[in-house]
Amino acid sequence: MRIELRQRTEDSRLMVWLSPLLALGLTLVFGTVLFAALGHDPLRALHVYFVKPLTEAWSLEEIVVKATPLALIGVGLALVFRANVWNIGAEGQYTVGAICGSVLPVMLPDLQGPLLLPAVLVCGALGGMAWAAIPAFFRVRFGASEILTSLMLVYVAQLLLDWLVRGPWRNPEGYNFPESRLFEADAVLPALAGRMHYGTVLALVAVAALAIVLGRTLKGFEFRVIGAAPRAGAFAGFSERRSIMAVLAISGGLAGIAGIGEVSGTIGQLHPSISPGYGFTAIIAAFLGRLNPVGVLFASLLLALTYIGGEAAQVSLGVSDKIARVFQGAILIFVLACDVFIRYRLHFQPMRRPAARAEDAP
């Protein structure tokens, strides 16, 4: 028996959605092996990791908190990826969004009033947009790969944040800890319930808005055409340059909102580690959610679970805090591998006798 991949005549629509489920199944198998190899009872470990967080109110709340930035960034990434633009630097746009959004609360702490919060959010969005505009400009003007430029700008952004909170923006009453002053009340995203804040509402609005843009508007159609067949897009009269600029601006802006939302709604101040890698994990959310805004929402919840489960496993089992990254990486690898079956199907080829010519040989 020989196993072959044969190309399908048309992409399988069933596999588009079956593939992530298959990938999750494989991730669980992988987890079983991993925990067994680490000397833990796999069933108990997987229970601690994937089931227990779903049974307690506080951890469910925490999942929503963590899913919020993931969904905000992830829908933006779904849009750019659909337009065949590869923004890998959402983490940097998130960071610069957080920095720009913090300008008013940190530098003008006496500024108060109902307009402060909207201003903070707009600054965050503009910061993310500006950071994403840099790779957009280099791509459109010089043809530089946005994959490299956007990724490298992540490290620039992180060092900028580090310098700010250790230097000019360090909290004068902060005992020399590398952190900014705390946001005043009017600059804080109000809580919905418990630790959940209004950033979640923004995320849901972003999901709905992008679902409409991509599926129902001429602009979204334009992005999809440019992504699928740039030449056909030019023939239709769409500008590839403008599309690249637009999708990068939108995704950068959403990452910026995620950044300032996290700082304003969850953390309350700037410090060097405002993200456990949301900008990168959101790439996984985008692919796991099939580059579909609603799909990204669910994928974000699942990836948030891997963060919470990772913390739980760290506490109850004593495994490394890197375990969450391992599981996220496994999900991405499995989903990309399973996506092969969208284009190809498995074919089991029975082994045949050797070819006729060989039989003739003496």
Partner 1 sequence: MPGGNVLLEARGIVKRFGGLAANDRIDLAVHAGELHALLGENGAGKSTLVKILYGSLQPDEGAVSWEGRPTTVGNPAEARALGIGMVFQHFSLFEGLTVAENIALALPPDAAGRGLADDVRSVSESYGLPLDPAARVASLPVGVRQRIEIVRCLLQRPRLLIMDEPTSVLTPQEAERLFETLRRLAGEGCAVLYISHRLEEVRQLCHSATVLRHGRVVGRPDPKTASMADLARLMVGADVQGAGNREGRPAATGPVRLAVRGLSLEADTPFGVSLDDVSLEVRGGEIVGVAGVAGNGQDELFAALSGETPASDDAAIEIDGRACGRMGPRRRRRLGAAFIPEERLGHAAVPAMRLSENAVLTRHGTDPELATGGLLHLSQARGLARRIVERFDVRAPEGDPEAGALSGGNLQKFVVGRELDRRPGVLAVSQPTWGVDIGAATGIRRELAALARDGAAVLAISQDLDEILEISDRIAVISRGRLSPAVPTGDTTREAIGLLMGGAGD
Residues in CB range of 234: below 8 A, 6 or more apart: 240
Name the site residues for partner 1 (rule: CB under 8 A): 9-11, 216-219, 221, 224-225, 228-229, 231-232, 234-237, 239, 349, 352, 355-356
Give the tokens for residue 196.
């959940």
| Shortest distance (Å) from residue 355 CB to partner 1 | 7
- Closest Cα partner for 121 from 98, 138, 92? 98
- Closest Cα partner for 339 from 11, 9, 73? 11
Cβ proximity to partner 1: between 14 and 201 the closer is 14
| Shortest distance (Å) from residue 295 CB to partner 1 | 18
| Shortest distance (Å) from residue 67 CB to partner 1 | 30
Cβ proximity to partner 1: between 225 and 332 the closer is 225
| Shortest distance (Å) from residue 82 CB to partner 1 | 11
Inter-residue contact 134 to 153 (CB < 8 Å): yes
Inter-residue contact 146 to 136 (CB < 8 Å): yes
Cβ proximity to partner 1: between 330 and 342 the closer is 342
Q: Which string of DSSP letters, residue by residue, matches 288-322?
A: HTTT-HHHHHHHHHHHHHHHHHHHHHHHHH---TT
Inter-residue contact 223 to 243 (CB < 8 Å): yes
Inter-residue contact 150 to 283 (CB < 8 Å): no
Cβ proximity to partner 1: between 112 and 217 the closer is 217
The DSSP output letter for 323 is H
| Shortest distance (Å) from residue 276 CB to partner 1 | 35
Cβ proximity to partner 1: between 173 and 359 the closer is 359
Cβ proximity to partner 1: between 9 and 55 the closer is 9
| Shortest distance (Å) from residue 83 CB to partner 1 | 13
The torsion angles phi and psi of 193, rounded to 5 degrees, stand at: -165, 135
Residues in CB range of 150: below 8 A, 6 or more apart: 86, 87, 88, 89, 90, 92, 132, 135
Give the tokens for residue 316.
């109850």
| Shortest distance (Å) from residue 143 CB to partner 1 | 13
Cβ proximity to partner 1: between 126 and 213 the closer is 213
